[in-house]
Amino acid sequence: MYNHSGNSRATWLEVKNDTDQQIQIKISEVDNSDWDGDSRPDHNFQNAIIEAHQSKKERQELNAHNQTAEFTMTVSQGGNEQFAIRINQWDARIDSLSPIHEKDADCSNNFHVHIIGGLGGGDTLFVTITKK
């Protein structure tokens, strides 16, 4: 289980655009009680532009008393929405049941998303977006 001592947990979200065009990120379906302060995806990733083969990394402060911190990330490219995916920021953290959290998703419009957390000290959730 996650160690939930204290009021908040500092984590990081890094989104890498491994496509040949820039992408724009929109965040929705966020529960305010999942987060502590302004370091949260709907504040620091909302309308973010990530250039081709670049990444953006921002701190995400989790409410330590919750078990999830989910949000929906919608990715647009060329001015059109391409896909949406549900992400749980708690997957950045190491827990006793699964030291590494990993997920692959084939999305619409030939996009693929690889999500992995628990690496390098267990505080960063890496989201890599590619085209198939």
State the pLDDT at residue 98: 67
CB neighbours of residue 14 within 10 Å? 14
Our separate counts of H helices and E strands in the chain read 1, 9
Domain that holds residue 120: 8-131
- pLDDT at position 4 is 46
What's the burial of 132, exposed, middle or buried (CB within 10 Å: 0-12/13-18/19+)? exposed
Please report, for the domain that includes residue 55, its CATH number: 2.60.40
pLDDT tens-place values along the chain, 132 residues long: 444 456 899 999 999 999 999 999 999 999 999 999 899 999 999 999 999 999 999 999 999 999 899 999 999 999 999 999 999 999 998 766 667 889 999 999 999 999 999 876 679 999 999 999
CB 84 within 8 A of CB 108: no
- Total number of domains constituting the chain: 1
33: which 2 tokens?
Answer: 């009680």
User: Is 112 within the bounds of a domain?
Assistant: yes
β-strands 101-107, 80-88: how paired?
unpaired
Look-up: residue for tokens 């330590």? 64
DSSP 35: B
